[in-house]
Amino acid sequence: MRQNISGGSPFEPIIGFSRAVRVGKAVHLAGTGPVGADDASAEAQTRRIFSIAAEALAKAAASFGDVVRTRMYLTHVEDWEAVGRVHGEFFGVIRPPATMVVVAALLNPAWRIEMEFEAVIPDAG
């Protein structure tokens, strides 16, 4: 069964996307930008992304403990340490495979980071 999870963006129906999709035990969380933290530091933007991701994962009955893969897209290479530290706060014990790449630009020029998450919900019991 497929569950589309909205993040509330007015662009979701126009572009045709969902913040996340759960299919069976798998949850795919789309590229998530730091909405509402445009003028913040890379660290604060990353924390905002984790806040948005936590809400979407919860709607899918998942949590950060279920995350099995992350991807981080940075617009400034010098932000890698600040972003990495925040990522480590959430995943230092869980340690999912993670990719961090530098890109020329993101949809919003003020964003310094965008992230994707994949989770697998374990069997109950």
Domain limits for position 103: 2-120
Q: Report d(CA 10, CA 83) in Å as an integer.
A: 28
Confidence of residue 25 (pLDDT cuts 50, 70, 90): very high
- At 26-62, the pLDDT tens digits run 999 998 999 999 999 999 999 999 999 999 999 999 9
Q: Is residue 111 part of a domain?
A: yes
Q: Residue type for 87, please?
A: H
Would you say residue 42 lies in a domain? Answer: yes
Query: 113 has which bridge partners?
Result: 74
CATH number at residue 47: 3.30.1330.40
| Alpha-carbon separation of residue 7 from 1, 38, 94, 98, 108 (angstroms) | 20, 17, 25, 23, 17
Q: How many domains does the chain have?
A: 1
- 88-102 pLDDT, tens digit each: 999 999 999 999 999
User: CA 68 → CA 9, 15, 109, distances in Å?
Assistant: 25, 27, 29
| Residue 31: per-residue pLDDT | 85
- Considering the domain boundaries, does residue 86 fall inside one? yes
